[in-house]
Amino acid sequence: MKTFLFICTHNRCRSILSEAITNHLAAQYGQDVQAFSAGSQPVGEVHPLSIKYLQERNIATEGLCSQSWDAYEDKSIDVVITVCDSAANEVCPVWFNDCQQIHWGLPDPSKLQGADEDVRQAFFAVMDTIENRMREVMKLELAAMDNAALSACMANLAQV
C-alpha cells in the first residue's frame, strides 16, 4: 500500500480536498492507496465549502477533519505533499525526513471573496488540478514503484 500525506498549514481546504480526491480516485482505479491530510497549525474544522463542493462531485467526506501533522508521527507515510507555499517553507517534523517530500503549490480558494459562483469556480479549479494530477498517479504501477521514483513522478506533475 502507498500512503500519501497532504499538508497545508491550517488543514481546512486544499489538503482536505487532496485527501478526499485521492482516496476517491484510488477506489475508482483499484489502487492500494490511502491518503491523509494534516496541518502544522490546524484550525480544528474543515472549511464548509470544501465539504459542500466535494459532495457536489459525489466524493465522500466522512471522516475528514482538521488535525495536526503530529497525528502521523507513528504512521508509515510514503510521500508527503505540501499543497500551500507557507507549509512548504515551514520547518517540518524530524520524522518527515524518513518520507519523500514534494511540493504542489495550489491557490487557496477559501480566501476568495466575491460572488458565490466565482468562489465555486475557484474551488472547482483547485479540485480539477488535484484530480488531474492524481489521475496521472493512479495510472502508474504504484505497487512496483519505490518511493523515490513515485516522488519524482509526482514532483513532475506539479507543472501540470
Phi, psi of 152 (to 5 degrees): -65, -40
Asked if residue 28 has pLDDT above 90, the reply is yes
Indicate the pLDDT class of residue 7, thresholds 50, 70 and 90: very high
Q: Once rounded to an integer, what is the mean pLDDT over residues 105-134? A: 95
pLDDT at 90 over 80: no
In the sheet that holds 2-7, the strands lie side by side as: 33-38, 2-7, 79-82, 100-103
User: The pTM is what?
Assistant: 0.94
Summarised one tens digit per residue, pLDDT across range 34-72 is 999 999 899 999 999 999 999 999 999 999 999 999 999
Map out the domains of the chain with their CATH numbers: 2-159 (3.40.50.2300)
